[in-house]
Amino acid sequence: MHIAVLAGDGIGQEIMVECLRVLEALSLPDLKLEHADVGGVAYHKHGHPLPPETLALVHSADAVLFGAVGDPACDNLDRHLRPEQAVLGLRKEMHTFANLRPAKAFAGLEGLSALKPEVAGAIDLLILRELTGDIYFGDKGRRTTDAGLREGYDIMSYDENEISRIAHVAFKSAQGRRKKLCSVDKANVLQTSVLWREVVNEVAADYPDVELSHMYVDNASMQLVRNPGQFDVMLTGNIFGDILSDQASMCVGSIGLLASASLGEGTKGLYEPIHGSAPDIAGQGIANPSAMILSAAMMLRHSFGMEAEALRIETAVAEVLQAGVLGHDLGGKASTTEIGDAVVARLSAS
Ligand SMILES: NC(=O)c1ccc[n+]([C@@H]2O[C@H](COP(=O)([O-])OP(=O)(O)OC[C@H]3O[C@@H](n4cnc5c(N)ncnc54)[C@H](O)[C@@H]3O)[C@@H](O)[C@H]2O)c1
Ligand SMILES: CC(C)[C@H](C(=O)O)[C@@H](O)C(=O)O
Ligand SMILES: [Mg+2]
C-alpha cells in the first residue's frame, strides 16, 4: 500500500499530520507513506506547483492523499504557476473524472447545521461531481475587445463521452444507495447542459431500477437548504458540483467535515477534503482535520477495498463528534491535534 502524501499549503500541512496518525493507528501491514511537495510550497521550493518529482511519485503510488493548496503569496502569479493549478493538473493527469463528495448528517451535530435540526438530520446524499471537464478546462484567457475594453473568457464545454462516463458512475452509485438520482444542470440556458440532460437520459435506459429526475442548479441550491433529505445522489458538472458541495457542507455543519474521493477507471484515486488551505486560520492549530481523516477512509474503501477499516475510521470520527469534541468551526474549543488524539483514542479502543 504505497501512498503519495501531498499535504500542500496552509492547513493542508496541519490536517495531514492528524490523518497520517489515524492511518498509522490502524496498524496496516504494508503501509508505505511517501511525501512530496505540491502547491505554493512546491512553487517556492521548485519553481512549479506540481513539480516533476511530485508527478513521478503520484505515478508510482497506489493512491494519493492530498491536503489542500492555495497561498495568498502566489495570487499574482501567472495562472499556470498558481497553487490551484496543481490540484487541477493532478486531476487531469490521473484521469480522475468522478469526484464523490458525500454529505451525511452526524448524530449530535444537527443543532450546529445552518439548517433547522430536523431538516439537517435527514441529510444523506452523495454529490457526484464531474471533475476533468467543464468551464475549468476549456479555453480561457484575456483579450481586448474591438472597443478597447479588457475582456476575460472561459469556455464551458462537455462532449458526450465525458457526460456518459460520469453518468454511469452516478447511476451505479445510486444502485448501491437509495436508487434515486437527481441530475443538476442549467439546461434552460446552457448548451452544455442541454447535451448533459440528453446524454443522462440516454444512459438512464441501462438503469431502469434507478429513479431519475432533473433539476436546474439554482433550484437545487435552494432545495439543498429547504429539504436536503429529498436527495440521494446528485449528479452534476464540475463548476456546479464545486459550489453545491461547499453549500452542502454547511447543511451538515462545517466545511471541515466533508471528504472526497476522485476516481477514474482504475483503483488509483486522489483523496482530499473539499475545503482549501484556509489561510485565515493556517498556523493556529485550529483546523478541523475530520474531512482529511474521512478522505483517508474513502481511500481505504475505494483504492484498497478495505471496507471494514474505512468504517472503523468513519465510526471513530462520528463518535468523537457525538462526544462533543468539536473544533472551532463547530463552535467548540478542540484543537487540530486534540481532534486527532480523540479519533486515535477511539480507534485504539475499538
Ligand atoms: N482542493 C483544494 O486544494 C482547494 C479547495 C478550495 C480552495 N482552495 C484554495 O484555498 C485557498 C483558500 O480558499 P477559501 O478561503 O476560499 O476556501 P477554504 O475552504 O480554504 O476556506 C473557507 C473558509 O472555511 C474555513 N475552513 C476551511 N477548512 C476548514 C477546516 N478544515 N477547519 C476549519 N475551518 C475551515 C476557512 O477558515 C475559511 O474561513 C484559496 O487559495 C483557494 O483557491 C483549494
Ligand atoms: C482549488 C479549486 C481549483 C478547487 C476546485 O474548484 O475544484 C476547489 O475549490 C475544490 O473544491 O476542490
Ligand atoms: Mg471547491
ipTM: 0.99
Q: Is 242 a catalytic residue?
A: yes
Chain-wide mean pLDDT for the chain? 97
Answer whether residue 80 shows pLDDT above 90. yes
Domain count, the chain: 2
pLDDT at residue 340, as a whole number: 98
User: pTM for the complete prediction?
Assistant: 0.98
What is the mean predicted confidence (pLDDT) over 213-239? 98
Asked whether residue 303 falls in the same domain as residue 212, the answer is no
For residue range 234-249, list pLDDT tens digits in order: 999 999 999 999 999 9
Asked whether residue 172 falls in the same domain as residue 293, the answer is no
Please indicate, yes or no, if residue 105 is contained in any of the structural domains: no
Asked whether residue 161 falls in the same domain as residue 198, the answer is yes
Domain with 323 in it: what CATH number? 3.40.718.10
Please indicate, yes or no, if residue 326 is contained in any of the structural domains: yes
Burial of 190 (0-12, 13-18, 19+ CB in 10 A): middle
CA distance 150 to 142: 7
- Print the domain residue range for 286: 1-99+258-350
Is 36 annotated to bind a ligand? Reply is no
pLDDT category, 87, cuts 50, 70, 90?
A: very high
Please indicate, yes or no, if residue 104 is contained in any of the structural domains: no
Of 252, 270, 301, which one is at a domain's C-terminal end? 252
Is 287 annotated to bind a ligand? Reply is yes
Asked whether residue 230 falls in the same domain as residue 118, the answer is yes
For residue range 18-35, list pLDDT tens digits in order: 999 999 999 998 999 999
CA distance 41 to 71: 8
Considering every ligand atom, which ligand is closest to the CA of 70? Answer: 1
Asked whether residue 128 falls in the same domain as residue 168, the answer is yes
Q: Is 209 a catalytic residue?
A: no
Please indicate, yes or no, if residue 195 is contained in any of the structural domains: yes
Answer whether residue 136 shows pLDDT above 90. yes
Asked whether residue 159 falls in the same domain as residue 247, the answer is yes
What is the mean predicted confidence (pLDDT) over 272-287? 98
Asked whether residue 199 falls in the same domain as residue 333, the answer is no
Asked whether residue 279 falls in the same domain as residue 245, the answer is no
Asked whether residue 180 falls in the same domain as residue 298, the answer is no
Answer whether residue 267 shows pLDDT above 90. no
Instruction: Please name which of 245, 251, 246, 247 lies closest in space to residue 117, comparing C-alpha atoms.
Output: 251
For residue range 287-321, list pLDDT tens digits in order: 999 999 999 999 999 999 999 999 999 999 999 99
Asked whether residue 236 falls in the same domain as residue 128, the answer is yes
